[in-house]
Amino acid sequence: MDLEKLQELEHRIGINFKNRDLLLEALTHRSYLNEEPNWHLNHNERLEFLGDAVLELIVTEHLFKKYNDPEGTLTSWRAALVNSSMLSEISKKIDLNEYVLLSYGEKKDAGRARQYILANALEALIGAVYLDNGYEETKKLIERLILPEFPRIVEQKLYKDAKSSFQEEAQEKIGATPTYKVLDQWGPDHSRTFKVGVYLNEELIGIGFGPSKQEAQQKAAEDALHKKEWK
């Protein structure tokens, strides 16, 4: 990727990098290294790990300071703001798809797996900004990109996801808390599929599949709500 392209992305996010290799690493998907073994940087999964934690902290701080709601409500709001579906949607604001470095095979896949790649790349980008520009600049980026989605989340009740709904129903109706277990997983590291089961008192109620454990858990909860006729 040439300098002009990187500068274009910097302009889109309103951040100037001192070390552009951090930005480039944030954009490097694992699959790209399979075709470019001499690439001078690592893939973006370590930066994604860091960015995930930084994002959660900044969103948590914002919600804690601004709202006096109980912990359970704040947790649901935060989850709706930082989940993969929301981050993938937000990545479109900056056309992140135009900058992520992918293998030829991954470029052809524009489905659900691409959404996760973009969500993860956005987290990696946040991690890179944090390392290069510090906490306050990262906070400003999240305030520009992510926190503006919060009113829509509350208005449309997007925080009422299947897992939350199933847990509320299970606790109210039978006094049990759901537990989730990974039953199987397959595929390469950069494109895995997980099979997850949701249990009540050790009884398997629902099964879900997805490209992440979180997505599979949501699908399992949806399945359980349907089977219990709680939805």
Catalytic positions are 52, 123
Q: Are 210 and 195 in contact (CB under 8 A)?
A: no
Q: Give, rounded to a whole angstrom, the gap between the first and last alpha carbons of the chain.
A: 48
Q: Are 77 and 150 in contact (CB under 8 A)?
A: yes
Ordered strands of the 203-210 beta sheet: 179-186, 193-200, 203-210
Contacts of 24 (CB under 8 A, 6+ apart): 1, 6, 41
Q: Are 188 and 158 in contact (CB under 8 A)?
A: no
Q: Give the Å distances, CA to CA, from 93 to 54, 63, 132, 146, 168.
A: 20, 23, 22, 10, 34
Q: Is 229 left (phi over 0), alpha (psi -120 to 50) or beta?
A: left
Query: 197 forms bridges with which residues in the sheet?
Result: 181, 207
